[in-house]
C-alpha cells in the first residue's frame, strides 16, 4: 500500500488533504496535533509510534528521527541493495511527505524569551523534508499548503511527473534554507558575533508590475528577521506600489524618521530617490508648506512623508498638486476623505517609532557589499574660523546634515531656519553640485543660508561661490590637504566654518 506521512505546524487545509489522500488509497501516518486534526476530520490515520514501535520522548524532541521513518524516505527504489536492506529490516516505503515547520519566525516576531526560541527550532521536520526532497524521484515532498489542491489533482490524473517532483523539491530546500537563515541570524544577534558565512532568507510578497523600467521584471520580498519601517505599513488607498515607489518611499521615510527622536515635525518631499524639499514646522501644515515651497517644481509627482498626523487643511493643500504617495503615522478622518478624492494617490500609514535597519547591503556582480548604516551624528562642533556660527546656524547645520546623508554624492544642501533652500547631488564635482542649486533656483534669495557638504572641499571655490550666493556659514567634514585654503577664504569673507570629522558619502 502507498503511504503518506503528514506532520504540520500550519494545519490549514490538512484535514481535507489527508482525506483526499486516503480516498486515493494512501495509508496515512501522522504525529501529535496533526494526527488529532486529521482523525477528527474522519481520516483513519496511524501514529508514528505504531510505525517505529518506539514512543515519542524528550518532550517530543524525538519522534520521527528513526530508521523506520528515514529508511522509508531515503532508500532508492532503483537500487537492489537498498531494496534488500529495507526488506531485511522490515522498513516500509513512504511515498508522500507533507511537512511544514515549527513557527520559529512567529516566536521571533513576538520576541519570545531565549529558552522558548530554542524549543521552536524544528529538528525532525527539516530532517524529513530534506530526506524526502533528496529522494524526490521516489518521494513526493509537499511543504506549502497552497499546493494541496494541485497535488490532489495531479495524483488523481496520474500526472505527477519528474518535473513536478523537482519543483516540489526546490520549494522544500528553499523552505529549510529560509528557516535555517532565520535561526542563524537569531543566534548572530543573540551572541553579538558573526560567522564567516552570512545567510539572508527572503519571503515573497508579490510580483511587481515591472522594475525601474517597463522591460525589467521585478519582485517584492520581505526580510522577516527585521521589523523595519516598511515591514508592515498599511496602505489605505490608491494603486499598488511600484518598484520605483518602494525605492523612493524607503528613502523618504528613513529621512523623516531620523527627525522623530528630536521631537520635531518634519515633512520630506522626495523625487527620483533624492530629497527635493525638507521642512521643519510648528505643525504638519506648516512643515508641508515649507517642504513644498522649498522646490514647488520637483515635488510634482513625488513622494511626501510627514512625521505627524495629517489634518484636513494639509490634505487640501496636498491635493492642489499631483503626488504619487503621501505617508504619515496617521490621518484625521476628514483628511483621509479629502485625499481619497485623488483616485490613484497612494496613502500609507507608517509607524515612525520603529528603528531603521542598521545594515546596508549592495549586490554587485557576483559579490555583496555589506556595511553599517550611516547613523553617526556629530555631537559637538569644531569651529575652525574666527567667526562662530549663531545658535540658529548651528540648528540649521544639524538639520542639514541629516538631509545631506540621504542625498547622492557629491552632495550640497543649503538650509535656512529649518527649511532646505536648495539641494544639489549626484554630481562629479562639488562646485557643480552647488552651482546646480543656483541654476535651479535663479530667483531665490540665499542670504543667511547654511551650506552643508557631505565631504571636504578640495578647493576654496565652493566657499567663493557660497559667499557670492549669500551663504553665511558652512559645515563640512574637513580632512583635505587644502583645508586651510577654505578656512582662509571664510575668514576673509567673515563666514563661519565648522568641521565635523565625519564624511557622509552616498553612492
Torsion of CA 190, 107, 144, 216, to 10 degrees: -60
Q: Indicate if 134 belongs to the active site.
A: yes
Q: How is residue 366 annotated by DSSP?
A: T
Task: Tell me whether residue 114 is one of the annotated catalytic residues.
Answer: no
Between CA 401 and CA 406 the distance in angstroms is 9
What H or E segment, with its residue span, contains residue 72?
helix 67-74
Number of H helices, E strands in the chain: 18, 21
Q: Is residue 474 classed as helix, strand or coil in its secondary structure?
A: strand
Strand locations in 134-256, DSSP E? 140-142, 203-207, 219-222, 234-237
Distance between CA atoms of residues 190 and 118, nearest Å: 12
Cell of 308: 505627524
The residue annotated as part of the active site, out of 134, 349, 408, 506, is 134
How many whole angstroms separate alpha carbon 33 and alpha carbon 50? 16
Distance CA 244, CA 211 (A): 7
The DSSP bridge partners found for residue 222 are 203
CA within 13 Å, CB half, 247: 13
Q: How far is CA 294 from CA 252, 257, 278, 391, 408, in A?
A: 16, 20, 7, 22, 18
Q: Residues 239, 272, 341, 362: which is the catalytic one?
A: 272
Do residues 430 and 462 make contact, with C-beta atoms less than 8 angstroms apart?
yes
- Look at residues 35, 17, 319 and name the one whose alpha carbon lies nearest to residue 145: 17
Residue 462, judged by CB atoms within 10 A of its CB (0-12, 13-18, 19+), counts as: buried
Peptide bond into 210 cis (omega under 30): no
The answer to whether residues 257 and 233 touch, using CB atoms and an 8 Å cutoff, is: no
Q: How far apart are CA 264 and CA 406, in angstroms?
A: 19
The CA R_g of the chain, rounded to the nearest whole Å, is 30
Active site residues: 134, 272
Amino acid at each position: 500500500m502507498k503511504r503518506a506521512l503528514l506532520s504540520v505546524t500550519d494545519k490549514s487545509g490538512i484535514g481535507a488533504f489527508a482525506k483526499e489522500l486516503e480516498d486515493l488509497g494512501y495509508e496515512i501516518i501522522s504525529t501529535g496535533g496533526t494526527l488529532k486534526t486529521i482523525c477528527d476530520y474522519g481520516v483513519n490515520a496511524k501514529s508514528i509510534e505504531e510505525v517505529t514501535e518506539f514512543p515519542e520522548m524528550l518532550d517530543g524532541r524525538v519522534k520521527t528521527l528513526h530508521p523506520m521513518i528515514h529508511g522509508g524516505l531515503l532508500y532508492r527504489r532503483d537500487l537492489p541493495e537498498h531494496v534488500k536492506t529495507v526488506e531485511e529490516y522490515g522498513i516500509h516505503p513512504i511515498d508522500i511527505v507533507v511537512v511544514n515547520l515549527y513557527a520559529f519566525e512567529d516566536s521571533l516576531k513576538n520576541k519570545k524569551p531565549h529558552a522558548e526560541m530554542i524549543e521552536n527550532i524544528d529538528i525532525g521536520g527539516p530532517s524529513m523534508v530534506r530526506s524526502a526532497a533528496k529522494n524526490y524521484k521516489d518521494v513526493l515532498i509537499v511543504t506549502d499548503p497552497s499546493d494541496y489542491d494541485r497535488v490532489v489533482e495531479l495524483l488523481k490524473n496520474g500526472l505527477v511527473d519528474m518535473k513536478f517532483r523537482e519543483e516540489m523539491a526546490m520549494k522544500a530546500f528553499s523552505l529549510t534554507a529560509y528557516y535555517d537563515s532565520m535561526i542563524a541570524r537569531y543566534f548572530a544577534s543573540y551572541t553579538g558575533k558573526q560567522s564567516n558565512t552570512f545567510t539572508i532568507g527572503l519571503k515573497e510578497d508579490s510580483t511587481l508590475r515591472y522594475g525601474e523600467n517597463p522591460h525589467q521584471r521585478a519582485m517584492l520580498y520581505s526580510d522577516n528577521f527585521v521589523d523595519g519601517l516598511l515591514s508592515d505599513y498599511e496602505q489605505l488607498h490608491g494603486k499598488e506600489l511600484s518598484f520605483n515607489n518602494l525605492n523612493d518611499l524607503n528613502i523618504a521615510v528613513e529621512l523623516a524618521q531620523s527627525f522623530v527622536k528630536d521631537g520635531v515635525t518634519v515633512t520630506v518631499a522626495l523625487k527620483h530617490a533624492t530629497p527635493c524639499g525638507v521642512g521643519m514646522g510648528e505643525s504638519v501644515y506648516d512643515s508641508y508648506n515649507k517642504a513644498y515651497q522649498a522646490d514647488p517644481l520637483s515635488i510634482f509627482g513625488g513622494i511626501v512623508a510627514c512625521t505627524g498626523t495629517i489634518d484636513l487643511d494639509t490634505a487640501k493643500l496636498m491635493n492642489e498638486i499631483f503626488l504619487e504617495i503621501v505617508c504619515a503615522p496617521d490621518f484625521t478622518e476628514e483628511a483621509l476623505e479629502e485625499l481619497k478624492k485623488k483616485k490613484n494617490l497612494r496613502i500609507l500609514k507608517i509607524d515612525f517609532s520603529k528603528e531603521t535597519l542598521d545594515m546596508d547591503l549592495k549586490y554587485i556582480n557576483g559579490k555583496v557589499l555589506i556595511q553599517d548604516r550611516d547613523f553617526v551624528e556629530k555631537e559637538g562642533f569644531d569651529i575652525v574660523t574666527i567667526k562662530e556660527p549663531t545658535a540658529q546656524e548651528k540648528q540649521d547645520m544639524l538639520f542639514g546634515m541629516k538631509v545631506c546623508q540621504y542625498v547622492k554624492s557629491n552632495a550640497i544642501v543649503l538650509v535656512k531656519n529649518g527649511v532646505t533652500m536648495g539641494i544639489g547631488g549626484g554630481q562629479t564635482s562639488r562646485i557643480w553640485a552647488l552651482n546646480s542649486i543656483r541654476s535651479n533656483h535663479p530667483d531665490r534669495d540665499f542670504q543667511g543660508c547654511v551650506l552643508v557638504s557631505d565631504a571636504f572641499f578640495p578647493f576654496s571655490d565652493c566657499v567663493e561661490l557660497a559667499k557670492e550666493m549669500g551663504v553665511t556659514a558652512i559645515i563640512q567634514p574637513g580632512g583635505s590637504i587644502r583645508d586651510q585654503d577654505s578656512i582662509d577664504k571664510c575668514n576673509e569673507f567673515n563666514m563661519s566654518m565648522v568641521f565635523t570629522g565625519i564624511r557622509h558619502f552616498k553612492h
